[in-house]
Structure 1
């Protein structure tokens, strides 16, 4: 069982692959899409959940997503057809970091995908080249909510605290226009859903050759979350605009 398959099973009960509940996602989309007829792009869209929700909320919206996972894109295509938004959804099977579009976008998403670009600022740099004048970026990333242990630092690498995150974003030429810090409930719900969905699948499929591996991954992830990073890792979503277009 590869990482992609594990992720698909783990997110079965929490399709937004980030610690955000439905109300938070809705508020972020309302803030990020003020008109409703925007052209939006998701860099690292996975199964397309952000795009599908935006398209469902706004009948005049047009959306594109980029991801390296063909199975995730296939899920997005199927869901788009079921929801009746597929004619306004274009999906690209390629590396989001190298994606080049023929037109600009009013909104660029990248939530929980900064690792694909080499970090938060690198992700903003990639998003900037796709923005139309006056466009916005909705980006989500982790931060240290309190002093991390050496084990947590080794696990997550170049994570910084929230004030420093904001300072770096602003110094990089962006102005935050809205933000959401995930609550403890959102963080816990996400992790319980992640580990629980994977463990439940393993218990429901005992004869599957991948069952023991999936259960082991769920157990290891849960232990790391509870013992290493639960009390120190936070998550923030920012809507930002270039300080000068």
Structure 2
């Protein structure tokens, strides 16, 4: 049970595996008015940057669950580096079936709603770990503008246009599911650039070190194609944000 190797190669230098900067992640923590002792569950926690930095800045406590052995190891190292190993723990496992042993104050899935087969299923999964009146955090893509054709849709990693919604429609969807949107922090084109461009440098450096690896032809083709495709499509049409929800 692990992530495909090409994913960890692409994001080998990333602490945040989404188009979010450290400043945006910090702004989110401040906006939520986190208090010491807040109990957090982070499903698909990646390299643990949210839990570790919030533990350091706000003294939260919590658990992260992720399918990647490499990212889980990085998360544990990050916790040690920030001196918060007594506050946060990271579990290698399948987040799609994980429910906390005891209710938490904040349950999050940032950029991985595939673990619940979409927004509705992921919200339902997180709700099972949440105390009454707690906060849910969902990180999710949305259309910045209506995609004009199927080529644009596919270049933005969607199967159909209906896989994502325009931002007002996504917010309305939260309401249809019985939740109030109480805070949000959105990625911008700069944070998208930092996320995606770092992948290209990671790939190029890996290719230079591993020219004969079985993945080299695939990643070489990706590096030749992806920057222009990103600039033409993804950068213009795809948004992303973290949304804080409370059940009505």
User: What is the TM-score of this pair, normalised by structure 1?
Assistant: 0.89
Q: Give ranges in structure 1 of 5+ residues lacking alignment.
A: none
Matched pairs, number = 241
- 2:239 aligns with one of 224, 227, 234: 234
Q: Where does residue 56 of structure 1 map in the other structure?
A: 56
Which secondary structure does the structure 2 equivalent of 1:133 belong to?
strand
The separation in 1 between residues aligned to 2:14 and 2:75, in whole angstroms, is: 15
Q: CA offset at residue 21 of structure 1?
A: 1.6
Alignment of 1:1-245 (within 5 A): 4-59=4-59, 61-148=60-147, 149-154=149-154, 155-157=157-159, 158-206=163-211, 208=213, 210-243=215-248
Of stretches 72-81 and 132-141 in structure 1, the one that deviates more from structure 2 is: 72-81
Structure 2: distance between partners of 1:11 and 1:94: 19
Cα pair 2:61 2:87 within 8 Å, conserved: yes
Deviation per residue, 1:178-232 (Å, 9 max, x gap)? 1122112112222111222222322244455544443333334334323433211
2 CA distance for matches of 1:13 and 1:93? 20
Change (3 A) 1:3 1:44: closer
Question: Are the counterparts in 2 of residues 153 and 159 from structure 1 also a CA contact under 8 Å?
Answer: no
Take 2:105 and 2:64, find their aligned partners in 1: how far apart are those partners? Answer: 14
The 2-side partners of 1:128 and 1:33 are apart by 20
Unaligned runs of 5+ in 2: none
Contact 1:66–1:91 at 8 Å: present in 2 too?
A: yes
**Shift in CA distance, 49/218, structure 1 to aligned 2, threshold 3 Å:** farther
CA distance in 1, matches of 2:15, 2:225: 21
Q: Residue 236 of structure 2: SS of its match in structure 1?
A: coil
Deviates more, 1:25-34 or 1:204-213: 204-213
Give the whole-Å Cα distance in 2 for the aligned partners of 1:230 and 1:236: 14
Q: Report if aligned partners of 1:32, 1:107 keep a CA contact under 8 Å in 2.
A: no
| SS class of match (1:78) | helix
> 1: CA distance between counterparts of 2:113 and 2:226?
20
What SS does the corresponding residue of 2:246 show, helix, strand or coil? Answer: strand
Does structure 1 conserve the Cα–Cα contact (< 8 Å) formed by 2:42 and 2:51? yes
Kindly tell me: are residues 3 and 91 of structure 1, through their superposed partners in 2, closer, same or farther at Cα, counting changes over 3 Å? closer
